[in-house]
A and B are shown apart, each in its own frame.
Chain A
């Protein structure tokens, strides 16, 4: 079955949902989820860029001519981006833990000493 442009649509939807969550939710953990959603959308977009229908993995020293291969570079980019995403998510969540310790809440409306 040919899935056509569906993965691109899915990636765009993930990014939009993520940005919506980031802008309109008030719980710090949900903000982190929003950022993660955007990140997943971008990663899906990158992998989809390199995908070729019925392609094989590009692991050759001398590549055969006729084979269809998926592109390796976007996969390398995605892997890097996932690792970076892990670091940022961990850092964000640990900030959320400490904010909960100091303020006793995760509601952004109550965590607002820094204004103006």
Chain B
């Protein structure tokens, strides 16, 4: 068990990566064999993510190393050298927290897909790309090296765009695929240029090594600007969000949620760069306010654009965009005050980070439910739907749980994290909290409209009745997560959110010291 836990970081990347290339081969044996294989891959990956999280959170989120190419997997430096040249995976509370989110979303997404693809063609391609995307996301979250981060970023870009556009017979998917791929490529090149600038100055690529050497020179600031632009673009922050509704809206329903997890991984990269790589070497107050402005624009634009949508998937996609804003707001408030480190700054960090897992669960639930709705009605246009509650009682209950959680209504998880964000941002500036609360209320109105349009009204003829079990179970699982996190927020904040927030807020020296020694 200890050996498995020790090797978990690299296995989390290797298993889905090799599995991705195994899926088309196993697919030749038939549908049952392929589904069993994918199900096993997803379960094993999730189990390793659980093991890793248990071990990291067991040590209160202290960072741990996995070194490839050394005599042992715990020795970062070749003997007599002070420059880390080996491939290093470094996992701390924040990395393990993100791995949990990814595992939750890919597991439910994969199991939902088994029923979803029964009636459609293209399943083998889909599972292959899903596994590749999973490997890329885990790679981004666990790596301790800037260049490897770029490579995994590109792996997720290519796999994600493959997933959006692999159904070449659909007109819109091609348009969305082109747009998203072009912007993802640009974002990747910004990151690569920044990596080049940092390498040129300090002669290293390891995050801990670079963090130890950074001086905050003008070139560092340019590199930081490039990283901020590239990663915010890929996370879908306004004003660089144009691709996000296309991507989430045109991807197959179980995939939209995984794309949100992918955006969150870029957001994680941004936080890692800001807190661990740069830390206090640059003016954190200015940077924090840049994040806060981005966050307010994202929240506001996301919600107002959701208001005018008639397409159910695009509407949920704009909801997903607005939630990225809440995470940025929480962490931005934390960053702005991270020089003085007052208590409310830490609360803001907890809120922003807690909201990542809450958003993944409730947006995932909503996207899966939208897949069920589109399957039953054969349309995505809200004006043509109605009366679904007559034939799909459980789906309507699950949809309303997801919608209330997203809008931050009390018994559900969205409220728990948003409340922390409101409370902390109010202390920095009441204006921030006002915008955040008003946008949440507006979002609730949007989803009440959706619920009324899709589920209420007269019974329509010719609708398929309730949903197959295979689709129901993943949705119920996500709904249980939503409710559990809403009912016992204190427990989860203590156990997993606080170590993650600690790793960013206080953990810079420990992160550097683990690789370079001393510290």
Residues of A within 8 A of B (CB): 15, 22, 28, 31-32, 35, 38-39, 42, 45-46, 49, 73-74, 77, 80-81, 84, 87-88, 91-92, 95-96, 98-99, 102-103, 111-114, 116
Contact = CB atoms under 8 A, between A and B. Distances in A.
Contacts, number: 91
A116 B246 CA distance: 10
Given A35-B186, A49-B196, A91-B161, A102 B171 contact: yes
B171 A103 contact: yes
Contacts of A88: 154, 157-158, 181, 184-185, 188
Contact of A38 (B189, B196, B205, B305): B189
A114 B154 contact: no
Contacts of B21: none
B174 interface: yes
B192 A92 contact: no
B175 A113 contact: yes
B128 to A, nearest CB: 15
Given A73-B205, A74-B199, A22 B182 contact: yes
B351 interface: no
A116 B305 contact: yes
Given A45-B193, A112-B175, A116-B305, 17 more contacts: A35-B189, A42-B193, A46-B196, A77-B192, A77-B195, A77-B199, A87-B158, A91-B162, A92-B181, A92-B185, A95-B165, A95-B181, A98-B165, A99-B175, A113-B175, A114-B245, A116-B308
A22 B187 CA distance: 13
A77 B192 CA distance: 9
B178 A42 contact: no
Scoring B165, B178, B193, B246 by chain A CB atoms within 10 A of each residue's CB, the highest score goes to B178
Interface residues of B, number: 38
B196 A77 contact: yes
Contact of A31 (B157, B165, B174, B182): B182
B200 interface: yes
A54 B189 CA distance: 29
Contacts of A80: 147, 151
Contacts of A103: 171
B174 A92 contact: no
B135 to A, nearest CB: 15
A92 B182 contact: yes
Contacts of B154: 84, 87-88
Nearest to A98: B174
B124 to A, nearest CB: 18
Contacts of A81: 192
B177 interface: yes
A84 B151 contact: yes
Contacts of A46: 192, 196
Contacts of A74: 196, 199
Scoring A31, A77, A113 by chain B CB atoms within 10 A of each residue's CB, the highest score goes to A77
Contacts of B196: 42, 45-46, 49, 74, 77
B469 interface: no
Nearest to A88: B185
Contacts of B175: 99, 111-114
Q: Which 10 A-B pairs have the closest CB atoms?
A: A95-B178, A98-B174, A102-B171, A49-B200, A84-B154, A88-B185, A95-B177, A114-B246, A99-B174, A98-B168
B172 interface: yes
Contacts of A84: 151, 154, 158, 188
